[in-house]
Amino acid sequence: MLSLHQLRCFLATYEHGSLTAAAEELGYAQPSVSEQVRALEKTLGVPLFRRVGRGVVPTTLADTLRPYAEQAIAASEEARRAVQSAVSLESGTIRFGMFGAARLYAGAQIVADVLERYPGVRVELIGQHSNEVQEQLRRGHLEAAMIAATSVESEGMTVIPVARDELVYISADPSRLTTPVTAARLAKASLIMPETTWRNSDSVRILLRRFLHEAGHNPQTRIEVEEAEISVDLVGRGLGDSVIPRAAAEQLIPRLAPNVDWVSLRPKQYDVMAIVHRRGAVLSPAAQVLIEIATKHIQSVAEPI
């Protein structure tokens, strides 16, 4: 089988017209280079050099081989270089999981920050929802992620809480916002909830279910939609109320439904955001950078833990 080592020896010999000189350049003894070249000639089945008195002379077949050999060597060296520069974050891709709400909070700003610090990299923020992200983590397609920790069955995962965000009750009807909403009142409300696909494992849903169960009530939603933006929009149209993280409320309400306002639950409920990665994993520099930046931003819009 053809090997780079053989090609290296061939090229050195070709350039020097001498096995001895090639060996010296490569830091080997002369018979070693001789052996490699002979092996190459054998695998190709053709003579590459004529052994002629003092020295060796390339055949025309060697002339034919040379450019390809050079290309192979060059590609292998390029490979080394490219990987090194990627590992030092001069290039390459940083891939990081992030659930929908967190992206809403700070996604664009995080990408901008990373690109400012590492102009050569490509950034991928992956995943729509915490559970989806978690699945990718579990499968190893992601190294680390920022997720809503409440929804995590954390087996095999290391979870590092970073910030918490209060869940607030939003409504277009000011009369429902005069006092904090209790479980009893929430159970009677007509709710519009997002994240339909993840109905049973969405962290906000889990929190609400627990909140209601503890007071002996059952959750009940009137309208299910996929996007948080749409549920806020619908609340603005007076079709129902909703419960969403406070940072999401502050971001979405002014934009989508200025007539909507919010009030706390009683007792207050918190969605916890956390960094998550496989237990025992050694994080790449890329992942560490993104964790650092994402944490900083999340903590600037939500409450640090």
Partner DNA sequence: CGAAAGCATAGGAACCTCCTTGGGAAACCT
Partner DNA sequence: AGGTTTCCCAAGGAGGTTCCTATGCTTTCG
Q: What gap in Å lies between CA 304 and CA 300, rounded to an integer?
A: 8
| Site of tokens 């990081």 | 96
Residues 94 to 133 in contact with a copy of itself, rule: CB under 8 A: 94-95
* Residue 117, amino acid: R
- Among the listed residues 21, 39, 44, 223, the single contact to a copy of itself using CB under 8 A: 44
* Residue 254, amino acid: P
Cα radius of gyration rounded to whole Å, the chain: 31
Which region, left, alpha or beta, applies to residue 216 given φ > 0 means left and ψ of -120 to 50 means alpha?
left
- Among the listed residues 19, 106, 137, 272, the single contact to DNA using CB under 7 A: 19
Quote the tokens at residue 11.
């090229």
Nearest-approach distance from CB 89 to DNA, in angstroms: 25
- Among the listed residues 27, 45, 67, 216, the single contact to DNA using CB under 7 A: 27
Q: Look at strands 144-148 and 93-98 and give their pairing.
A: parallel
Q: Which does 59 bind (CB under 5 to 8 A by kind): DNA, a copy of itself, none?
A: a copy of itself
E strands, 30-173, in order: 49-51, 56-58, 93-98, 122-126, 144-148, 157-171
- Does 290 bind DNA (CB under 7 A)? Our answer is no
Nearest-approach distance from CB 164 to DNA, in angstroms: 29
- What residues make contact with a copy of itself under the rule CB under 8 A? 1-5, 7, 44-47, 50-53, 55-57, 59-61, 63-65, 68-69, 71-72, 75-76, 78-80, 82-84, 86-87, 91-95, 138-141, 143, 278, 281-282, 284, 286
- What residues make contact with DNA under the rule CB under 7 A? 3, 5, 18-21, 23, 27-32, 34-36, 38-39, 51-56, 138-139, 156
